[in-house]
Amino acid sequence: MKESSDKRHIAILGSTGSIGTQALEVLEANPDSFVLEVLTAHSSADLLIEQALKFKPNCVVIGDESQYKKVQDVLFDEGIKVYAGADSLAQVVQMEEIDIVLTALVGYAGLRPTMAAIEAGKHIALANKETLVVAGDIVTELAKQKGVNIYPVDSEHSAIFQCLVGEFHNPIEKIYLTASGGPFRGQTREQLASVTKAQALKHPNWDMGAKITIDSASMMNKGLEVIEAKWLFGLKPEQIDVIVHPQSIVHSIVQFEDGSMKAQMGLPDMKLPIQFALAFPERLKSDFPRFNFLNYPQLTFEQPDPKTFRNLALAFEAMKLGGNQPCILNAANEVVVDAFLKDKVTFLQMSDIIEQCMQKVAFIQKPNYDDYVATDAETRSVASQLIKND
Ligand code: NAD
Ligand code: MG
């Protein structure tokens, strides 16, 4: 057994979500490699308590302050410290004991704690792609200054990262991000006009949180991932391509300057990229189900359809314009996805509102952190107004 100092000490932000709970399975299966220091949740107090009683972290944070007492009442006797609110989230990630912060919370809320963790020199295992979409320039610059690594958890970016191991000195010619195409692959705009939230929430290959599942149905997830890839791997927009691969077995591809292409494959299971990010450069032995070629006699590839799935085109446009445009795209998307989940807008209206926000909110070429905060707030208010007037 390794000494505690040889083990990686982990904080999981968003431990009650899809990525968070799978990360805990990885930690549970590898007690010799990891020590859990921090768990956090937004409002799922009961699950947070259950996880804390099982994993005995140093401390927990509940985002929703009204649930502080409930959590504190149970965990106090266990010697587990309990904090509440967004400020606490940004503070606990700076705890001395932590080596890596897994950002498994959803949306713009990830930006501040991720910046705080990097500021304190913590490595990041990044699931929260929205952070890089909103402010990729300042986040990657700060990480460089602080000597902090950002290990991708998103399966496509983990695939690219795995293909790059041993190749870091070789320039990338281009990358292909694979996309499953989601539940509405091949449908026309007429068909999309009447799709329901229940249909959109049924992803063919992955079981994920509600927001990313809607993003996958609308192709915004791939759009966000294109921008995420730009920042993670230092790419130009024209070096990033998307290819639809409905089986989700090839997780992404790197093409090098000699024309050789490397792909990373496996069954769709987020535990693998989570574990790879937390244990890098080691590959820990696992009992995850293995891929069998005979179960997949055909792996197929097709062009995406950005005319029907306009979010993909909007994301490419935002990436090319740069500045605060991706931040506007992200904030508008968070508002419309929430509205779609509450039956306040239709599936196709989501792209219309995002596009209008990109036109209405003032463009800033070189935003600083405060500009991003202001852009996010302004976009949310513009998007909400557009939804009300509709
Ligand atoms: P989820 O909705 O299942 O879980 C989100 C977690 O974040 C929960 O623990 C919740 O309590 C917490 N949270 C939500 N809002 C918060 C807030 N405002 N402040 C603090 N905590 C908050 O989401 P998920 O599917 O696990 O996705 C998490 C992130 O990982 C997203 O950015 C998503 O895009 C990314 N991701 C997820 C998958 C996947 O398979 N689920 C794959 C790739 C990337
Ligand atoms: Mg992904």
In the chain, the N- to C-terminal Cα span, in Å, equals 61
What's residue 284's pLDDT? 98
Q: Which atom of ligand 1 is nearest to the CA of 212?
A: 34
| Residue 30 in domain | yes
The answer, yes or no, to whether any atom of ligand 1 lies below 6 A from the CB of 378, is: no
pLDDT exceeds 90 at position 206: no
Residue 262 forms beta bridges with which residues? 254
Instruction: Report the share of the chain in percent with pLDDT over 90.
Output: 96
Average pLDDT over residues 366-382: 98
Domain limits for position 353: 322-390
pLDDT exceeds 80 at position 3: no
Ligand in closest contact with the CA of 251? 2
pLDDT exceeds 90 at position 5: no
Q: Which atom of ligand 1 is nearest to the CA of 44?
A: 11
**Higher pLDDT, residue 261 or 207:** 261
* Alpha helices, H only, the chain: 18-29, 45-55, 68-75, 86-92, 111-119, 129-146, 155-164, 189-192, 197-200, 210-218, 220-233, 271-279, 310-321, 325-341, 347-360, 369-389
Ligand 1 midpoint to CA 207 (Å): 12
Quick: pLDDT tens for 283-310.
999 999 999 999 999 999 999 999 999 9
| Residue 355 in domain | yes
| Residue 29 in domain | yes
Tokens 């302004």 label which residue?
Answer: 378
| Residue 340 in domain | yes
Quick: pLDDT tens for 63-91.
999 999 999 999 999 999 999 999 999 99
For a ligand 1 pocket test, name from 19, 44, 47 the mutation site with the most ligand atoms within 8 angstroms of its C-beta.
19
Residue 102 forms beta bridges with which residues? 12, 125
Report how far apart, in Å, the C-alpha atoms of 340 and of each of 30, 143, 214 are: 39, 35, 9
Last residue of a domain, one of 86, 118, 152: 152
CATH number for the domain spanning 120: value is 3.40.50.720
CB 216 within 8 A of CB 309: no
Ligand 2 midpoint to CA 225 (Å): 7
Does the reported pTM lie above 0.85? Answer: yes
pLDDT exceeds 90 at position 203: no
Last residue of a domain, one of 107, 122, 152: 152
Please classify residue 289 by burial: count the beta carbons closer than 10 Å to its beta carbon, then call 0-12 exposed, 13-18 middle and 19+ buried: exposed
What's residue 269's pLDDT? 97
CATH number for the domain spanning 343: value is 1.10.1740.10
| Residue 94 in domain | yes
| Residue 20 in domain | yes
Average pLDDT over residues 346-364: 98
Ligand 2 midpoint to CA 385 (Å): 30
Report how far apart, in Å, the C-alpha atoms of 359 and of each of 39, 110, 112, 221, 324 are: 39, 25, 26, 21, 12
pLDDT exceeds 90 at position 19: yes
CB 17 within 8 A of CB 104: yes
**Separation between Cα atoms, residue 267 and residue 253, nearest integer Å:** 16
The mean pLDDT value of the chain amounts to 97
Quick: pLDDT tens for 123-174.
999 999 999 999 999 999 999 999 999 999 999 999 999 999 999 899 999 9
| Residue 334 in domain | yes
Last residue of a domain, one of 122, 152, 182: 152
Nearest of 176, 185, 173, 261 to residue 226 by alpha carbon: 176
In the chain, the number of structural domains is 2
The type of residue at 60 is V
| Residue whose CA lies nearest to ligand 1 atom number 43 | 154
Token pair in block for residue 244: 């639809």
Reduced to 3 states (helix: H, G, I; strand: E, B; else coil), residue 185 is coil
